[in-house]
A and B are shown apart, each in its own frame.
Chain A
Amino acid sequence: MSTKTLLIVDDEACITFMLASRFRELGYEVITAGNGEEAMAIVRSLPQAPTAVISDFQMPRKDGLQLARELRSDPRTEATPVIMLTARGHRLSPRELQETGIQHVMPKPFSARELQSMILDVCGPAREAA
């Protein structure tokens, strides 16, 4: 039995709070961070890479795009799926997607249920037989 860990990164405390409590209820282990810099520090301090990263796009200090790039370049996290939440009117450009390896984009405002089913697709249910 192994627990799946989600790293949720957003400078909007309301969003991280809501998503964290939701996914915890579903049985995931959740770590939150307020920006990309903090998120990277947490990732490095973890004994294991998180199962998936849910990150906001525009954040102070280090934005979601930069975070995704750094995750991609770290051998420990290069395969970690990143779900990008974006409040930008337009979608991410194909070049940005290719550079960062981001495969999942969730435009804001989104529904928590939608995100929940996306997480289920990406990393499966919270607990499963190892």
Chain B
Amino acid sequence: MVSGVLVMNTAIVACAMAALWIVVGGVRHEEAVRAGDRAAAVVAEMVRSDLEKSFAEQDLAAARLAIAKAAHAGALAGCRVSLGDGAVVADLDASAVTAKSIPAELPPLTIEPDSRHTFAVDIAGKGKVLLTVEPAGAIARSEWLEYGFGGVCLGAIILLGVVSVRAQKRAMPVTMVQSALNSVHAGEKELAALELADSFGGIATAWNGMVRELATHRARARFESVLTRRAQPGERDEAMGKMVDSLWHGIVAVDEEMRIRYCNGAAAVFLSGTRDGLLGTPLLERIGDPQAREKLEKLANSKGRGKIVVEMRTGEGDGGAVLRISGRPGSGGGGAMLLIEDVTQQRVADRSRNAFVEQATHELRTPLTNVRLYVEALVEKPDADVGTRSQHLNIINQEVRRLERIVGDMLSVSEIEAGTLKLAIHDIRLPALFSDMEAEFAGPARAKNITLRFDLPPKLPTIVGDRDKLVLALTNVVGNAIKYTPEGGTVKVAVRADDSLVIDVADSGIGIAAEDADRIFERFYRAKDPRVEKIVGTGLGLALAREVMRLHGGDVTVQSVPDRGSTFSIRMPLKAPLSMAA
């Protein structure tokens, strides 16, 4: 490909040079001929008298000297004096001389002079000799040849340059291919790295096609080698068996009568049996849920069509699990493959989430209703007495704060979920913080006839932390205490500050069962106590409080006696831990 283009380029340039040569050479030749002719005539005239003299004296040397002088003066290429019989008497080229002397009698001329290059010179009394001059035209031709040659050389150099640049361009893909080949060989790149950009045109297309074909072959070779390796009996079964056994999903193969032909470890656990004990037994005997059993029965009779998915509960109460069984009939030979997954956690999370959405909606709608009712009243009665107006405005204010808190909680939860909850660290004056809280909860406590008491030491230190987040945590814990304490109860907030800040929130509420005590800090978790279910809540408050306190290097813990009350302890170090220093 490269050499073809090169030859073509060379031929084009050579033709152009030849044409130039012919045109220029022709012109120069014509001019030279004319100039040479004129010079020859002048020289013939110059030597005529000298020749007459030397012939008369029969002086050969003088004749030769004469033509040499004339040739020099006329810049002749050649000059010769010959007799009528052809004998050369004198010549610029001494070797061409044949006559050894000038004869006394001159033979008559046999060649008719043309008076252009051959002239007849009359030697008085003796006859005629022939003077032949080779004019400078001949010399011009040789010069022209030199120029021509030079031109050809120059052209050739330019041509070579052009060809070389083009060849280098053409050779670029080749260089790239070479370096890519080296990389592939060294294992640094995949075969795909060898592909050339389309901008390289036809070469790239052809090359890329070849590379792809090579890649296909290589992949096939690899695949075949894997197959060959797998085909090693024993080794393959063992490896596959181990792999399938270690799956946390249950895998069961049944025959056309739904008898278990294979099951892995997880499936044996889900079906409450052992791997070996289950082999050959009917699968449906292991399925307690009648609806699931009915659906699975159809699987055996579906003759290779369709996939079924059933969900069933196993066990009772909290120890129970939700299993999802997906079955697909075997192709051709009857029977079916079943996949058993434990989706208990997913279902719990789904339920929590749905409950959360419902609770959140409720939580938002209740303060919104209050705001709407009291604003409506104010709008309808612009002339209401000052006492009523201020009472309404207070309620609106309180409900807006409540909305703010709920929205704040939700935002914080989403921040915790996204891992973006950050603390804005400032100095916090504790006495002010607690008096704000006391004022905030006075209303709700009074509404339930609850005695709310804050027990603060006479002196409280200034701490460092995120005030808003700490208020959020405390509000949730104190708010919970009021929420879960029946009317007429007491809520006591006791604050200590020695090595660390400890806030104990003790209530005379419904208490928390031991099995719930561990889980109430989980997000969306709400205790199973029927009394709790009637109380609105998002299941987020405590999760949030714990997260916030842990970010401050502290924690929230609980001690509780059912039906007697609970004490939540909020702790945090007085000095900011290193993690908060930023």
Interchain nearest-CB distance for A42 vs B (Å): 16
Q: Say which residue of A62, A87, A112 sits within 8 Å of B365 (CB atoms).
A: A87
Looking at A22, A62, A109, the one whose CB has the most chain B CB atoms below 10 A away is A109
Question: Nearest-CB distance from B406 to chain A (Å)?
Answer: 12
Contact A18 B374 (CB under 8 A): yes
A18 to B399, CA, bound (A): 14
- Tell me which of A88, A89, A108 contacts B368 (CB under 8 A): A108
- Given A18-B373, A87-B366, A111-B372, 17 more contacts at CB 8 Å? A12-B366, A12-B369, A14-B370, A18-B370, A18-B374, A22-B377, A61-B534, A62-B534, A63-B534, A85-B369, A87-B362, A108-B365, A108-B369, A109-B371, A110-B369, A110-B372, A111-B373
Among residues of A, the one whose C-beta sits closest to the C-beta of B372 is: A109
Give 1 or 0 for each of A97-121: 1 = CB within 8 Å of chain B CB: 0000000000011111100000000
Contacts of A113 in B (CB 8 A): 376
Q: Which of the residues B362, B369, B447, B535 comes within 8 Å of A60, measured between beta carbons?
A: B535
For the A-B complex, the count of residue pairs with Cβ-Cβ distances under 8 Å equals: 61
The answer to whether A14 and B399 touch (CB under 8 A), given A63-B534, A87-B362, A87-B365, is: yes
Question: Which A residues are in CB contact (< 8 Å) with B357?
Answer: 89
Residues of A within 8 A of B (CB): 12-15, 18-19, 22, 58-63, 85, 87-89, 108-113
User: Are A109 and B536 touching (Cβ within 8 A)?
Assistant: no
- Please, how many angstroms separate the alpha-carbon atoms of A32 and B507 in the complex? 27
23 intermolecular pairs with C-beta atoms under 8 Å apart: A12-B370, A14-B370, A14-B373, A14-B374, A15-B373, A18-B377, A19-B373, A58-B534, A58-B536, A60-B534, A61-B531, A62-B534, A85-B369, A87-B366, A88-B362, A89-B357, A89-B361, A89-B362, A108-B368, A109-B365, A109-B371, A112-B377, A113-B376
Cα A18 to Cα B370 with chains together (Å): 9
Q: Which of B361, B376, B447 contacts A87 (CB 8 A)?
A: B361
Q: Known: A22-B377, A87-B361. Is A109-B368 also a contact (CB below 8 A)?
A: yes
Q: Which residues of A contact B362 (CB under 8 A)?
A: 58, 87-89
Judging by beta carbons under 8 Å apart, are B358 and A88 in contact? yes
Complex Cα–Cα for A112 and B536 (A): 23
Interface string of B479-518 (1 = CB under 8 A from A): 0000000000000000000000000000000000000000
Residue of A nearest to B446 (CB): A13
Contacts of A58 in B (CB 8 A): 362, 534, 536
